[in-house]
Structure 1
Amino acid sequence: MNHPPLPATPDIAVPAASQRWWTQLGPGLITGAADDDPSGIATYSQAGAQLGYGVGWTLLLAYPLMMGIQLASARIGRVTGKGLTETFARFCPRWLVASLVTLLLVANVINLGADLSAMGDSAAMVASGPAGAYALGFGALSLVLQVFLPYERYVRILKWLTLSLFAYVGVVFSVHVDWAAAMKGTFAPSFQWNRDYVTTIVAILGTTISPYLFFWQASQEVEEINRVPEDHPLRIAPEQARRQFRRLRLDTAIGMGFSNLIAFFMITATAATLHAHGLTHIETTKQAAEALRPIAGDAAFVLFALGILGTGMLALPVLAGSAANAVASYFHWRKGLDLPLAKARSFYGILALAMVVGLAISVSGLNPISALYWAAVINAVISVPVMVAVMIAATSTQVMGKMVLPAKWRVAGWLATAAMAAASVSLLIVSIA
């Protein structure tokens, strides 16, 4: 029996019979790309500038933890054919589901505001005009594209802008990097017990392991089931399980690996340029862009702005869409970015409201770099209860039947949850000490 093509990256048309590994990349790869959003760029740049090479270990730690929690989310979507909100409703009281959805909504709206603020500031950095006007323009453009352009085509258009992130890879190989210090910071770090250090670690974890990523990857697996006629939820089509689980592991491993690798190069690049020259606190986007000057020269600001704008335009629909999807699921409304406006008015109404509130935050006068950094911290704190719910669902026979999360990924997922909880508690302790 010939199967239809497995989920592929949005710009690649894959023959139905192809079994090449790259044809199996889909929701996990897009989720990983969206993870390196403006909040990530700002947080990793701030971390490298402030603490140098000493925080590389966080990404080494985060990779298996991300794999555990993202794979749990993806399996829930593929096995049940339902997103996280509907899944939580199967074993949680309604008030608790509402609380989890509200936490996601709050975190995403704050992140939307911070991302839009950074996008406006980046545009103003290379062109004349007020940053707030640019932020409003980008928000309006993104909203129109989300409503009237199918998400698959939206990503196909914008993904090329994100290639500018590879400039950080170029920086690492074009400047002097103290590789001994970089390797020590990654594999044998020394820890500090102070507010700045702990807050930075929490911010890195928060921008790397964020609630919207869990909801998004699960919902995209459901979208894939609906898109491919021969695909069905694995609980009613167990014969597809072996192939789909293999694809999920590959897709998630590559997507999260890509995200963490780019993040490592961002930290290393800013450590070798900004931190090494005494710039340890980034206050503006111009200062953050200076990390790219060794390879881009006077065009560093343009290259940095392209990265912020590209990742921002890619992340905005993920942030707004995952929030709207969760709210629509709670109220049992029709949902999905590929549905026309006439068939999902309530869904698009929530999406528009999230964007409007995010825009209000973006033009409120917040410092873009500071806003992005603290958005990552908020994500870390809010993610803990959501992660607990994801892991309970992924290991529940009531939800997953016989296809519960395997033991090794169960351990990784619970360790990720414990790490985020410990980081949040540590931040509280050093903040009140």
Structure 2
Amino acid sequence: MSEELLADRPRSWYSRLPDRLARLRQHPLAKVGPGLITGVADDDPSGIATYSQAGAQFGLNMLWAMPVSFPMMAVVQATCARIGRVTGRGLAANIKSTFPPVVLYVVVFSLLIANILNIAADVAAMGEVAELVTGFNRHLMTMLFVFGTLALQVFIPYHRYVSFLKWLTISLLAYAAVLFTVHVDWNQVALRTVWPAITPTSTYAAVVVGVFGTTISPYLFFWQASEEVEEMHAAPEARPLCEDSANAPRELNRIGWDTWSGMLYSNLTAFFIILATAVTLNVAGITQIDTAAQAASALRPLAGPFAALIFALGILGVGLIGVPVLAGSAGYALAEAMGWKFGLERAPNDARGFYGVIAISVLLALIIQYSPITPMNALFWSAVINGLLAVPLIAVILLLAADPKVMGPYRIGAISSWIGWITVALMGVAAVMMFVPA
């Protein structure tokens, strides 16, 4: 057959695959930075369980928490990203060089315990949801997710792995889709968002603590700072901004846009989860939700099987993001603290300690599935540790970001500083309220 005739023949799907992949790499979603992934990881399966419980127990009267928490979470995460990009080092490395060793060890040790318990709660939820969707045994599905996410982190280079994570962020749209399957009184939604009927009880306060603790979590601080370092290393000529003043305005603008948009995406999703469970479960009198999978199951008779299915698939999608972020943040923190080589772009043999922490974190979380510790107990204790750790850690982050010896001329501005310290104060109150008897 002549070359002209061959050229006119329709190309098969696999011959067009390189062109399609090239177009995907040029897609705007492929160009966003760590802010989007961090935002989506904030809505991990244990977070979905917390938001579902808030909506089921208090209905529309918990919606206000999301717009209030948005500027706080965005400022803290943008500050972490700024520290990483300006210094070229992650949070643990900066804490190590600036504060006494006891500060570093307490922070890293607490983070490791909280992350392992959080991973345990997340993979348990993913296994339950997978059983709900496929009918396969939950423990088998949990093992599949654990070893699958671990293999992706260890054996696939960061620049390829991160593209996979970015496309998974679309899974959060599932929670907005649920609202199209049920009736929503948007006038009441707007009213209760700005003027909630708050019941001043310790139970209400405990749920508020859970929502804020889930939204502003220490593991996200370490992850985003270190991912800025990873992104910098991935660019051949990139340097820390403290050594590259020419690119500083562009990079800092990019960090601001990336982080605030990522946090907005996360915050809106949490708002939709609270709203979806408020207009279904709360209205039906179902006020106790222990797991994200239970929320998906409860939606089936109220909003139909399609709503339950997309809610469940959203849990699986964000779980595949949240678990690697939890394990990766622990790896970054301990590796920087110990002075080990680290980075998801490195080969396993070149960063054994870093990948060892990731592997051990995930495998210990898997072992917890077969221990007397229930997923809800794991989630509770991770929330307690995160709640106690977040307050001093945010204070440390703000001190680092305002230190000219660390940041040079790129210290955070007055507005960000004020919002950050207000966050410390509110999270401090939340940490105290966590121990108020219900």
How far has the Cα of 1:166 moved from its partner?
Answer: 1.9
1:273 paired to 2:263: no
Corresponding position of 2:15 = none
Partners of 1:86 and 1:284 in 2: CA distance? 36
Query: How far apart are 1:142 and its partner, in Å?
Result: 1.4
In structure 2, the residue matched to 1:13 is 25
Shift in CA distance, 162/224, structure 1 to aligned 2, threshold 3 Å: closer
The aligned residue for residue 391 of structure 2 is 384
What displacement does 1:267 show?
Answer: 0.6
The equivalent residue for 2:4 is none
Structure 1 residue 354 corresponds to structure 2 residue 381: no
Q: Answer yes or no: is the 8 Å Cα contact 1:283–1:370 preserved in 2.
A: no
Answering whether residue 342 of structure 2 is matched by residue 330 of structure 1, we say: no
Alignment of structure 1 residues 284-295 onto 2, 5 Å: 284-290=291-297, 292-293=299-300
SS state of the match for residue 339, structure 2? Answer: coil
Q: Does 2:419 match 1:407?
A: no
| Amino acid paired to 1:205 | F
Q: Secondary structure at the match of 1:191?
A: coil
Where does 1:45-56 land on structure 2 (aligned, <5 Å)? 45-56=52-63
Give unpaired runs (5+ residues) of structure 2: 1-21
Q: 1:164 to 1:82 in 2, by over 3 A?
A: closer
1:236 equivalent in structure 2: 243
Query: The residue matched to 2:304 in structure 1 has which SS?
Result: helix
Q: Higher mean Cα deviation, 195-204 or 278-287?
A: 278-287
CA contact (8 A) 2:178 2:310 kept: no
**Unpaired segments of 5 or more residues in structure 1?**
1-9, 16-20
Judge conservation of contact 2:29–2:166 (CA < 8 Å) in 1: no
1:394 correspondence with 2:401: yes
Show the counterpart of 2:131: 124
Distance change >3 Å, CA 253–CA 14, structure 1 → 2: same
Aligned match of 1:194: 201
Q: Which residue of 1 aligns with 2:231?
A: 224
Question: TM-score scaled by structure 2?
Answer: 0.88
What one-letter code is carried by the residue in structure 2 that aligns with 1:115? D
**TM-fit CA distance, 1:364:** 2.7
How far did 1:127 drift? 3.2
Displacement, 1:157?
3.6
Structure 2: distance between partners of 1:301 and 1:182? 22
1:82: which partner in 2? 89
Shift of residue 124, structure 1, vs aligned partner: 1.9
Q: Among residues 67, 70, 81, which one is paired with 2:74 in the alignment?
A: 67
Deviation of the 1:130 alpha carbon: 3.4
Between stretches 252-261 and 139-148, larger displacement belongs to 139-148
Q: Letter of the 1:361 partner, please give it.
A: I
Asked if 1:106 corresponds to 2:113, the answer is yes
Q: 1:310 aligns with which of 305, 317, 331?
A: 317
Q: Does 1:206 align with 2:213?
A: yes
Based on CA coordinates, which of the two structures has the bigger radius of gyration?
2
Match of 1:421 in 2: 428
Q: Identical aligned pairs, as a percentage?
A: 46
* Aligned-partner Cα distance in 1 for 2:409–2:243: 12
Residues in 2 aligned to 1:336 and 1:11: alpha-carbon distance in whole angstroms: 27
Equivalent residues of 2:120, 2:375 under 8 A apart: no
Give TM-score scaled by structure 1 length: 0.89
Q: 1:220 to 1:295 in 2, by over 3 A?
A: farther
Letter of the aligned partner of 1:100 in structure 2? V
Q: Using the alignment, how far apart are the partners of 2:179 and 2:135 within structure 1?
A: 31
Shift of 1:362: 2.9
- 1:61-113 CA-to-partner distances (Å, cap 9, x unmatched) read 11110121111101101111110011112221112111111111111111111
Task: Within 5 Å, give how 1:1-40 maps onto structure 2.
Answer: 12-14=24-26, 25-40=32-47
Query: What is the deviation of 1:427?
Result: 2.2
What amino acid maps onto 2:215 in structure 1?
A: T
Alignment match, 1:18: none
Structure 1 residue 249 corresponds to structure 2 residue 256: yes
- Give the CA RMSD over aligned residues: 2.4
**d(CA) in 2 for partners of 1:336 and 1:190?**
47
2 CA distance for matches of 1:237 and 1:161?
33
Q: Return closer, same or farther for 1:214/1:148 CA change in 2, 3 Å cut-off.
A: same
Asked if the contact 2:175–2:311 (Cα under 8 Å) also holds between the matched residues in 1, the reply is no
What letter is aligned with 1:207? Answer: T
Counterpart CA distance in 2 for 1:133 and 1:11 is 36
Give yes or no for contact 2:171–2:318 (8 Å, CA) kept in 1: no
**Residue correspondences, number:** 417
Q: Does structure 2 conserve the Cα–Cα contact (< 8 Å) formed by 1:290 and 1:301?
A: yes
Contact 1:341 1:348 in 2 (8 A): yes
